[in-house]
Structure 1
Amino acid sequence: MTSASGTADLILSCAQSLIVAGGYNGFSYADIAKVVGIRNASIHHHFPAKADLVRTLVARYRKDAETGIAGLERSVTEPVAQLRAYTGYWKACIADVHSSICVCALLAAEIPVLPEEVALEVRAHFRGLSAWLASVFERGARDESLKLSSPPKVEAEIFLASIHGAMLSARAYRDGKIFGEIVDPLVARLVR
């Protein structure tokens, strides 16, 4: 028997897969119920509305990303190595075009039609990532390991947009190698 929190985790994992496959409006509770093997009422018990489900999913995704970045900060201290580790993580995920892609990148494209509580979580994810990247660029400029053409905050936004754009290009072309073909030269241009 699956526990209540175990059921919620299964629902969230299923919802994430369905969002990656078809976006916010590309799935229903009936789709989740079929995959997880539960009734719609069970989903509503955990997440009364779809907005509650996806907001919770994005909040969990953000927390996982923050935990991953904190781990990266502890294990890799040099700015260039941090950028390479970050892009390497996504390169491994995207190597198989049917594998993971950033859920928040996909949802960001849908912000005009997302419930506001979901849009707020997606924006918070981008702000957090941008702030971390800005700190990496600041440290890299200070220790002269990175050459910046713009202030660190702007470089962070350019880098973030390039990473997410590379994800979408890899998906559009159904070729995971495209991600590295875009991102590797981006990192190489920044390294002194």
Structure 2
Amino acid sequence: MEQTTSERILDVAQSLVVAGGYNGFSYADISDAIGIRKASIHHHFPTKAELVQVLVDRYTQHAEAGLTSLGQHVPGPAEQLQAYLNYWQTCILDASEPFCVCAMLACEMQMLPDTVASHVRRHFENLAAWLASVLKAGAEQKLFRLNGSPEEEAQILMACVHGAMLSARALGDPSLFAAIVGPQIARLKA
């Protein structure tokens, strides 16, 4: 199936956001990458804020679908959590998705338009809720030992995952992701 122009614009915008954040790209960069006029981009997305909001929504929908799929196809909470971490480890190692779009945007939260910031926040709220539900189920099954509430532990784990992405990027060493996240998972396991 052929991609629509809007999808191509979103794909390029996503790679540009991952590389340099909200303020790290312009419509000229997208125009150069896919060979269309800036006016055509404005036709699909009148403002940069609208473009990035749609991008965040698409990214969040894909993430939610992936997490739902884990719940349906991966048998237990420990395996679901490991599958989530394996996804990011693979993406970072093969550079297919070397950084979370919303984590990159969160670095610029104070500079983002309010509509974009609220959608980034929603992504983190959804991820935290999923992680909390997995950690709670794992604790109930005596698979995880939580030092705080599932919600607190979810925030710690989410910060660890995104911090590990940042360290791997900053130091140019994809293997750091597993080295940082691994001990956190070991701590959780009962």
Q: Does TM-score exceed 0.5, indicating one fold?
A: yes
1:54-109: per-residue Cα shift (whole Å, max 9, x none)? 00000000000000001000011311111110000000011145843100000001
In the alignment, the residues of structure 2 paired with residue 97 and residue 72 of structure 1 have an alpha-carbon distance, to the nearest angstrom, of: 22
Q: Which runs of 5+ in 2 are unaligned?
A: none
Q: Contact between 1:93 and 1:99, CA under 8 Å: does it hold in 2?
A: yes
Percent identity between the aligned chains?
53
Q: Contact between 2:98 and 2:165, CA under 8 Å: does it hold in 1?
A: no
Which one of the candidate residues 18, 25, 43 is aligned to 1:20? 18
Q: Contact between 1:97 and 1:171, CA under 8 Å: does it hold in 2?
A: no
* Counterpart in the other structure of 2:61: 63
Q: TM-score, normalised by structure 2?
A: 0.97
Q: Secondary structure in 1 aligned to 2:4?
A: helix
* 1:37 partner amino acid: G
Q: TM-score, normalised by structure 1?
A: 0.96
1:119-160: per-residue Cα shift (whole Å, max 9, x none)? 011000000000000101110111111000101000000000
In the alignment, the residues of structure 2 paired with residue 174 and residue 105 of structure 1 have an alpha-carbon distance, to the nearest angstrom, of: 18
* Counterpart in the other structure of 2:34: 36
In the alignment, the residues of structure 2 paired with residue 160 and residue 22 of structure 1 have an alpha-carbon distance, to the nearest angstrom, of: 21
Number of positions where the alignment pairs a residue of Structure 1 with one of Structure 2: 190
Q: Which runs of 5+ in 1 are unaligned?
A: none
* 1:11 partner amino acid: I
Q: Contact between 1:19 and 1:26, CA under 8 Å: does it hold in 2?
A: yes
* 1:25 partner amino acid: N
Residue 125 of structure 2 corresponds to residue 127 of structure 1: yes
- Could you list the runs of 4 or more consecutive aligned residues of structure 1 that deviate by over 2 angstroms after TM superposition? 96-100
Q: Contact between 1:59 and 1:121, CA under 8 Å: does it hold in 2?
A: yes
In the alignment, the residues of structure 1 paired with residue 146 and residue 167 of structure 2 have an alpha-carbon distance, to the nearest angstrom, of: 25
In the alignment, the residues of structure 1 paired with residue 94 and residue 174 of structure 2 have an alpha-carbon distance, to the nearest angstrom, of: 6
* 1:115 partner amino acid: P
Superposed CA RMSD in Å reads 1.4
Q: Contact between 1:20 and 1:103, CA under 8 Å: does it hold in 2?
A: yes
